[in-house]
Amino acid sequence: MLVVIKKDYDEVSKEAARVVAELVYEKPNSVLGLATGGTPLALYQELIRMHKEDGLDFSKVTTFNLDEYINLPPSHPQSYHYFMRENLFKHINLNPRFIHIPSGMVDVNDINRINRYCEWYEEQMEKAGGIDLQILGIGANGHIGFNEPGSSLGSRTRIKTLTDSTKEDNARFFHGDLSQIPQYAITMGIGTIMEAHWILLLASGKNKANAIKDTVEGPVCARVPASILQMHRKAIIIVDEDAASMLSIEYEALTPDLL
């Protein structure tokens, strides 16, 4: 695991975009794992700029999103389908056939069908040749995707119940109204995420400092799902000074040539 500390959110995002662009230039038919939330927004804006100004070509790229809320239709402004369309997809030249986001429109009572659907989602990743680079944010509680504390470190794509702390963190996207937040989500598992060839976890802000400390310097444990990245040979953690403020060891200020 490589830890890189940048000055602020803007620098974290630009560095992450540089890594993603490097991969896409090198391997135009890359398979990217994508994340939602506040953290990757500026990364996506930078990729859009690179597409428009530098001709970064996404036409052969395949994407798989990490997760989706259950029971929010794709047209709902807080669904991750909507998020991805508005914040990335409609601004670049991805082939719509190569875009994958878990469907949130499943019946929570039909667990067999959900399990089959999750298996199908995993098969699509396998057929695409696996994920070359998975982008991740991190929850203040150390979650990755919707793999909340206590998730099995070997888990695969499945339905998960959101914890209260995640609901509170995400309430800002639902006008602060906890009752509007879905109770369940479909998420890639920790085992699924760990199969990506490269992993790029981004974090910014003091509210992530604890989670980053536990992830980087704590024991590997299910209480902090992101700590499993210590076991990944090609995981890069890019954080700003605020998110790094509780780390006790000195880390890199420079990202070496990564790919």
Chain residues 38-67 in contact with ligand PGA, contact rule CB under 6 A: 38-39
Shortest Cβ 29–ligand PGA spacing (Å): 27
Give yes or no: 207 in active site: no
Residues that bind ligand PGA (rule: CB under 6 A) add up to a total of 6
Catalytic residue among 148, 169, 195, 214: 148
Q: Which pair of tokens denotes residue 93?
A: 């030249």
In the complex with ligand PGA, which residue's Cβ is closer, 14 or 27?
14
Q: Does 218 bind ligand PGA (CB under 6 A)?
A: no
As beta bridge partners, residue 181 has none
Q: How crowded is the C-beta side of 243, counted as CA atoms within 13 Å?
A: 29
Give yes or no: 67 in active site: yes
The stretch among 12-20, 32-40, 115-123, 215-223 that binds ligand PGA (CB under 6 A) is 32-40
In the complex with ligand PGA, which residue's Cβ is closer, 4 or 226?
226
Give yes or no: 87 in active site: no
In the complex with ligand PGA, which residue's Cβ is closer, 57 or 241?
241
State how beta strands 133-136 and 99-100 pair. unpaired
Task: Evaluate whether 215 touches 149 at the Cβ level (below 8 Å).
Answer: no
Structure-token match 């888990």, residue found: 155
Chain residues 90-149 in contact with ligand PGA, contact rule CB under 6 A: 137-139
Given 3-state DSSP classes, what are the helix, strand and coil percentages for the chain, each rounded to the nearest 5? 40, 20, 45
Give yes or no: 86 in active site: no
Give one word for 178, left, alpha or beta, with left for phi > 0 and alpha for psi -120 to 50.
alpha
| Residue ranges in contact with ligand PGA by CB under 6 A | 37-39, 137-139
